[in-house]
Structure 1
Amino acid sequence: MAPSDTRTQILDAAEHLFAEHGYRGTSVRAITRRAGANLAAVGYHFGSKAELMAAVARRVVGPVTAAQCAGLDELLARTPEPPVGELVAAFAGPLFDEMPAGDEGGARTSRLIMTILSDPAEEARGWTGPAEESVRERYLTAFARVLPGLSPEELWFRMRGILAVTAVDRLEAHQQPSPGCVPPVAGEAARGWAITFLTAAMSAPPTRT
């Protein structure tokens, strides 16, 4: 197996296992076993398990980040203060586009995003690189401009809510519904409902403490 193939096989194996078992629940040995590589290959190609997690996350989230960036560029080219709903659509829409129902890759992406949001391991939540940080800060700035009453903390809480709601919806779209439950809706209907709901959530008055 060529070095580049080994690296890709390790990334593919780690993506599956991190999505299924989380960061702490996945061992380097399990990753290399699935990848058909020797135990030292993770250190050679990535340096550590934490760096491997970061590489997996960036590979999966990279297309989402690029689409979010392009959407924001398009909005800001028209006006410095886009409507909240358009900002939400530009931020949340790519999550639906990259996690289509009925697609196993989309299911893994949604599970990985949930891992990043909720895994107690700092290595899972601390993967963010410059590209992701830049897009996050740009959206925070854009939302702050049109929602000036929100504190930075509450604004970031609501933006995390966009990620969580979307990831949970996409995760359910790939699972069999429990008996008696309404099956999840895929496609443009779910996308539209999410954007309507999240726009209302982002636009709600500031919380008074």
Structure 2
Amino acid sequence: MAPPDTRTQILDAAERLFGERGYRGTSVRAVTDLAGANLAAVGYHFGSKAELLAAVVRRVVDPINAAQRAALDRLLDRTPDPSVAELVEAFAGPLFDETPADDEGGARTSRLITTILSDPAEEARSWTGPEQDTVGEHYLAAFARALPGLAPEELRFRMRGILAVAAVDRIEVDTPDSTACPAPVVGKATRHWTITFLTAAMSAPPTRL
């Protein structure tokens, strides 16, 4: 098997470091040092550190987005009004199903997702493009029909919670206790527990302030 090219090596190194240290805590030099690349390679391949983050996140998120979109399309082909449980399954399931199956890769991907959801740096919130925004808006509309009592702001908050909880639980799947059940058993159970919990959380009555 041929070794990864320089661009891929930089993406792999950046995914690990952004996930561990966040945007501001990760320097371009640290990325290129880990990748074994020249310092100028980030500028050549990506243009800037912010564009490198965007490329890293899209590499991780695009397969998840595609699976979310396909799952929602299947639901809407079957019924115009899917249940909350069906929507949660379609939205959260790809966090388990479309991330790397190996322990190291899956945990790294999940750490990156939790980081971009919580990182205060503006760059961590400006990586999205039309594709990601469109999928999110379609789910927002579907959840709004299933949960008509929720204000849009609270619904968006709960949808972010789906991503955060699923990503954290996926980290647990990929770093199992060596004395516990085998990883495939843990993964299947955790996926089920996560979706059951998130369905209940999404279905909770609106918050009264």
> TM (normalized to structure 2)?
0.90
- Opposite residue 188 of structure 2, the aligned amino acid is E
Q: Give the number of equivalent residue pairs.
A: 205
Of stretches 153-162 and 5-14 in structure 1, the one that deviates more from structure 2 is 5-14
C-alpha deviation, 1:100, in angstroms: 6.3
Residue 197 (structure 1) shift? 1.0
Partner letter of residue 56 of structure 1? Answer: V
Q: Name the counterpart of 1:128.
A: 128
TM-align CA RMSD: 2.3
Distance 2:100 2:9 in 1: 24
Paired letter, 2:151:
S
Question: Which amino acid letter does the alignment assign opposite residue 60 of structure 1?
Answer: V
Separation (CA, whole Å) in 1 of partners of 2:66 and 2:138:
13
Distance 1:6 1:189 in 2: 38
- What's the CA shift for 1:138? 0.6
1:150 deviation in Å?
Answer: 0.6
Contact 2:67–2:98 (8 Å) recurs in 1: no
d(CA) in 2 for partners of 1:43, 1:121 = 20
CA contact (8 A) 1:24 1:121 kept: yes
Quickly say closer, same or farther: Cα 1:12–1:100, change in 2 above 3 A.
Answer: closer
- Sequence identity of aligned pairs in percent? 76
Structure 1 spans left out of the alignment, 5+ residues = none
CA distance in 2, matches of 1:131, 1:39: 31
- Residue of structure 1 equivalent to 2:163: 163
Counterpart-to-counterpart distance in 1, 2:188 and 2:36: 39
5 Å-filtered alignment, 1:89-168, equals: 89-99=89-99, 103-168=103-168
TM superposition shift of 1:101: 6.9
Q: Which runs of 5+ in 2 are unaligned?
A: none
Contact 1:101 1:170 (C-alpha < 8 Å) held by counterparts: no
Instruction: Give the conservation status (yes or no) of the 8 Å contact 1:110–1:168.
Output: yes
Alignment of 1:1-209 (within 5 A): 5-99=5-99, 103-175=103-175, 186-209=186-209
1:173 Cα deviation after fit = 2.7
Equivalent residues of 1:100, 1:170 under 8 A apart: no
Residues 95, 166 of structure 2: 8 Å contact kept: yes
Q: Contact 1:13–1:31 at 8 Å: present in 2 too?
A: yes
| TM-score, normalised relative to structure 1 | 0.90
2:12 counterpart letter in structure 1: D
1:89–1:195: 8 Å Cα contact kept in structure 2?
Answer: yes
Q: CA deviation at 1:176?
A: 5.8
Counterpart-to-counterpart distance in 1, 2:36 and 2:124: 24
